[in-house]
Amino acid sequence: MAVYTHLGAEDLASLIATYNVGELVSAKGIAEGVSNSNWLIETTGADGTGARFILTMYERRIELDDLPFFLGLLDHLSAHGAPVPRTIHCRDGDAYQLIDGKAVALIEFLPGVSVDRPTPAQARAVGAALAEMHRAAHDFPMERPNTLDIGESLRVLQHCGGNALATVDPALPEMIDHAARLCAAWPQGLPQAVCHTDLFPDNVLMRGNNVTGMIDFYFACTDAMAYDVAVTHAAWSFDKSGGRFDPAIGHALLAGYESVRPLDPVERRSLPVLAQGACLRFVASRAEDWLETPDDALVTRKDPMDYVRRLHFYAEAGDSPFHPAVD
């Protein structure tokens, strides 16, 4: 999340009036993430008791033609009981609308907080919620390819170029060769479903040990479910710098996932490579953002080296981070 585009109070009030959610009370920009502009919206509510929503303007990496997939997926998963926010449709039934050529959508606000230091119990709950999401998505009728796959990571790093990457960190250019090696070793034919592929702690809302919301599905795609597990494992099992792996968190997350959907042997053997690819995706996207984000954008840049350190861990550790947990 972030704020690239600034909308005035009158513009926001006119926009909110197109929904059956009452009148605008307040709007606060959310300065997190790097891809979209987001606001926390408070209204009087359709019944006058007050309501909260998230307003998103799609700025980067999202094609207009993909929005029916993203927004339809939210409605599908919510209807199937997954802790996912539904799309608020306009009075005319549209899931999104255009402002100066940019698409905007209003999304249900879910309660809960994101955890900075998850416990094993919380990690287990997240793993189970991810598996339940994969199950709920199986009969979703739409598909979308992963536009940030391992091949795209290689392309992005090559496009940035070694000289530019070295201005971020002298060790970053070596990731170009690592990406090429991973492309050659990438597993094929793994079981697929619609995947979140971005389930960081700040995209999960919790109350205690319960998952109350999974949000920010704007990188969702049809891909290997084990890859989604690897992305989540890398996002949850390390400290923020990526320098310390917490085996209790990693094992609990996998145990939670397999309590709902056990991984088959081929999926499990693929996890070390998938995890390196997951890390490389964030190395590439963060490096690109670091080099291209406008200086005046209300955005906090994220260090790609946090994921280089994770990648080195997975490359050296083999399958040990993915051994079955013992309860």
Rounded distance, CA 222 to CA 176, Å? 25
Structure tokens at 181: 């090696």
Q: Domains of the chain by range and CATH?
A: 9-108 (3.30.200.20), 120-322 (3.90.1200.10)
* Residue the block writes with tokens 């400290």: 239
Residue 132 token pair: 């339940």
- The string of pLDDT tens digits covering residues 240-278 is 999 999 999 999 999 999 999 999 999 999 999 999 999
208: left (phi over 0), alpha (psi -120 to 50) or beta: left
Q: Which position has the token pair 């990526």?
A: 242
This prediction's pTM: 0.91
Q: What is the mean pLDDT of the chain?
A: 93
Query: Would you say 319 and 272 are in contact if contact means Cβ atoms under 8 Å apart?
Result: yes
State mean pLDDT over 172-193.
98
Measured from the Cβ of residue 211, the count of other Cβ atoms closer than 10 Å reads 22
90-123 burial by CB neighbour count: b if 16+ within 10 A, else e? eeeeebbeeeeeebbbbbbbbebeebeebebebb
CB 38, CB 6: distance < 8 Å: no
Calculate what percentage of the chain has a pLDDT beyond 70. 93
Residue 324 has a pLDDT of 61
* pLDDT of 58 strictly over 90: no
Q: Which residues pair with 104 in a beta bridge?
A: 57, 97
Kindly tell me if the per-residue pLDDT of 300 is higher than 90. Answer: no
Which pLDDT score, from 0 to 100, does residue 12 have? 93
CB-count exposure of residue 62 (10 Å: 0-12, 13-18, 19+): middle
* DSSP structural state of residue 298: B
Q: Going by C-beta distance under 8 Å and a sequence separation of 6 or more, which residues neighbour residue 295?
A: none
Length of the chain: 327
Pairing of strands 192-195, 221-224: antiparallel
CB atoms < 10 A from the CB of 316, how many?
9
Residue pair 189/60 in contact (Cβ under 8 Å)? The answer is: no
Look at the alpha carbons of 156, 161, 166, 167 in this order and tell me if their dihedral is positive or negative.
Answer: negative
Q: What are phi and psi of 194, to 5 degrees?
A: -70, 130
The whole-angstrom separation of Cα 197 and Cα 240 is 18
The pLDDT of 32-36, averaged and rounded, is 62
With b for 16 or more beta-carbon neighbours within 10 A and e for fewer, the 38-47 pattern comes to bbebbbeeee
For residues 186-206, give the mean pLDDT.
97
Listed in order, strand segments (DSSP E) in 63-154 are 87-88, 97-99, 102-108
Check: CB of residue 166 under 8 Å from CB of residue 172.
Answer: yes
Per residue in 79-105, pLDDT (tens digit) is: 999 999 999 999 999 999 998 888 999
Q: What number is the average pLDDT over the span 43-71?
A: 91
Average pLDDT over residues 201-215: 97
Q: Which residues contact 135 (CB under 8 A, 6 or more apart)?
A: 193, 260, 261
Average pLDDT over residues 172-190: 98
Backbone dihedral angles phi then psi of residue 39, each to the nearest 5 degrees: -135, 140
